[in-house]
Amino acid sequence: MPRFKVGDRVKILPVSATPFVGLEGTIDEVLPNNRDITMLDRYTVIFKWGEKQSFYDVQLAPAET
């Protein structure tokens, strides 16, 4: 079962080289792993300027409120 759902706010973690590390965005699409491996679930994140990027579960954390 995916850890995040559409509409959740997330922060990009520094576990891989990406220019989005530290930024926050909103989950726009959930793509669960077909073998139920949560850490391989993918999420499309939309940023405030409208750009969308795809990330694995392990690259994301809940955004601080």
What domains appear along the chain, each with residue ranges and CATH number?
9-62 (2.30.30)
Please say if the pLDDT value at position 63 is more than 90: yes
pLDDT (mean) for 53-58: 96
- Say what the pTM is: 0.92
pLDDT-based confidence at 41, cuts 50/70/90? very high
Average pLDDT over residues 8-22: 94
Cβ count within 10 A of residue 18: 14
Q: Is the pLDDT of residue 65 over 80?
A: no
**Beta-bridge partners for 4:** none
Residue 16 clears pLDDT 90, i.e. is over it:
no
